[in-house]
Chains A and B, each alone.
Chain A
Amino acid sequence: MEASSITKDTVKPTAKEAHLSVRNLNVHILKNHILKNIDIEIPDKSITCIIGPSGCGKSTLLKTFNRLLDKTENVTITGKVLVDNENLYEKDAEVTHIRKKMGLLSQRPCPLPMSIYDNIAFGCKIHGTRNKKKLDEIVEYQLRAVGLWKEVKDRLHVPANKLSIGQQQRLCLARGLAVEPAFILADEATSALDPISSKHIEELFVELKKDYAIVMVTHTLRQALRIADYVVFMYLGEVIEAGPAEQVFKNPRRELTKKYLEGAFS
Chain B
Amino acid sequence: MNKKFSNRIFKDKLASGVMLGLTTLSLLLVVGIGIGLYLKSQPILEQKTLWTLLSTTEWKPSNGEFGFLPFILGTLWITGLAIVMALSIALLTAIYLTEYSKSSVKRFVFPALDILAGLPSVVYGVWGTLFIVPWISETLAPHFVEYATGYSTLAGGIVLGVMILPLLISLFVEIFSVVPDDLRNATLSLGATPWQTIKLVVLRKSFSGILAAVVLAISRAFGETIAVLMVCGNLPVIPGSVFDSCYPIPALIANNYGEMLSVPLYDSALMLAAFFLFIVVLVFNAGSRIILHRIER
Contact = CB atoms under 8 A, between A and B. Distances in A.
A40 B192 CA distance: 28
B186 A100 contact: no
A108 B190 CA distance: 17
B191 A179 contact: yes
A99 B182 contact: no
B233 to A, nearest CB: 45
Contact of A113 (B102, B103, B193, B204): B204
Contact of A99 (B103, B188, B201, B205): B188
**Interface range on chain B: under 10, 10 to 19, 20 to 34, or 35 or more?**
10 to 19
Given A73-B103, A113-B205, A126-B200, A106 B185 contact: yes
A64 B123 CA distance: 51
Contact of B190 (A68, A114, A122): A122
Given A73-B103, A113-B205, A99 B190 contact: yes
Interface string B196-215: 10001100110000000000
B121 interface: no
Interface string A116-143: 0000001100110000000000000000
A175 B187 CA distance: 10
A96 interface: yes
A99 B194 CA distance: 12
What interface size band does chain A fall in? 20 to 34
Contacts of B200: 112, 122, 126
B189 A73 contact: no
A214 B187 CA distance: 19
B296 to A, nearest CB: 15
Contacts of B183: 110, 112-113
B258 interface: no
B185 A96 contact: no
B180 interface: yes
23 contacts: A73-B103, A96-B191, A96-B192, A99-B191, A100-B190, A100-B191, A102-B189, A104-B186, A104-B189, A106-B185, A106-B186, A107-B182, A112-B183, A112-B187, A112-B201, A114-B204, A122-B200, A123-B191, A123-B192, A126-B191, A126-B200, A176-B189, A179-B190
